[in-house]
Homo-oligomer: A and B are copies of this chain.
Amino acid sequence: MCELLGMSANVPTDICFSFTGFLRRGGETGPHGDGWGIAFYEQGGYREFRDPHPSADSPIARLICEYPIKSNIVISHIRQANVGNVGLANTHPFSREMWGRQWGYAHNGQLQGWQTLELSFYRPIGRTDSEHAFCWLLGELRKRFPQPPEDPGALWETLHGLCERLRALGVFNLLLSDGHYLYCFCSTKLVHITRRAPFGKARLRDADLIVDFVEHTTSNDIVSVIATEALTDNEEWTRMSPGELLVWRHGEISARYGHDTVASEVASSMHKL
């Protein structure tokens, strides 16, 4: 299995703190040593850094921790290979252009029978179930919406339906973005937290690091982080429900599909710092 990390913020924000904890799971505090990647949406542009080596000792990952790239949306992934060998072509995030927007995608889980998903506009470059599913999903969206729909709700509902079809094939936890919205679909495991004023301190689970967000934010900042497992041990993270799709914009939830209130409990007990 793999792990996911996402961010949605209303101001360009760096993800150095969260990423510092996350990357330790790539071969150090976690077993996900088969490559890693991170995608940033910045000022209408997109860039990604991908490496087929363990993140815990990757010079490129270290750079990402030390060189604050300020972004509104981030998608990151550390890999423990199941389908497809270890290599750059099989390293998330994957991306494709649709409607003049770069769509970035990362998947946690494993699918059965994914080879039968019929592709249209997009073809995988590597050999993972994940990339195949992405090409299928984006192709289905494009067939249904050759242009961006005026009502984004129609798109989101279709996306939710496509995610449910993939969930029926196995485990399909998803981070997806077009630079405008961050989409998170939960199949088995995704948690999230929204930080806003009054800001406090946070302590990483995977590294000996505490940050006081007061020192790095203004009172208007809203920053949400989505991850497979909570990254801090002194904050409340909310667990998503299986089958739930969250649409994030500017750090807040714009829309929610397939929400099951019973399962939406607090993910981790809160230990005050």
Q: Taking beta carbons and an 8 Å cutoff, which residues of A are in contact with B?
A: 42-52, 59-60, 63, 66-67, 87-91, 96-97, 99-102, 121-126
Query: Contact at B97–A47, with CB atoms within 8 Å?
Result: no
Q: At the interface, is chain A mostly helix, strand, loop or mixed? A: mixed
Query: Contact at B102–A43, with CB atoms within 8 Å?
Result: no
* Cβ-closest chain B residue relative to A179: B125
Chain B CB count within 10 A is highest, among A44, A47, A50, A122, for A47
Query: Contact at B125–A89, with CB atoms within 8 Å?
Result: no
Q: Please, could you name 22 A-B residue pairs with CB atoms under 8 Å apart, sorted by A?
A: A42-B88, A43-B88, A43-B89, A44-B87, A44-B125, A45-B50, A45-B52, A45-B87, A45-B88, A46-B88, A47-B48, A47-B51, A59-B63, A59-B66, A59-B67, A60-B63, A60-B67, A63-B63, A97-B122, A97-B125, A100-B123, A100-B124
Query: Contact at B102–A44, with CB atoms within 8 Å?
Result: no
* Cβ-closest chain B residue relative to A119: B100
Cα distance A46–B49 when bound, in Å? 11
Cα distance A42–B59 when bound, in Å? 18
Least CB distance, A117 to chain B, in whole angstroms: 15
Cα distance A122–B99 when bound, in Å? 8
Chain B CB count within 10 A is highest, among A88, A90, A91, A121, for A88
Query: Contact at B44–A88, with CB atoms within 8 Å?
Result: yes
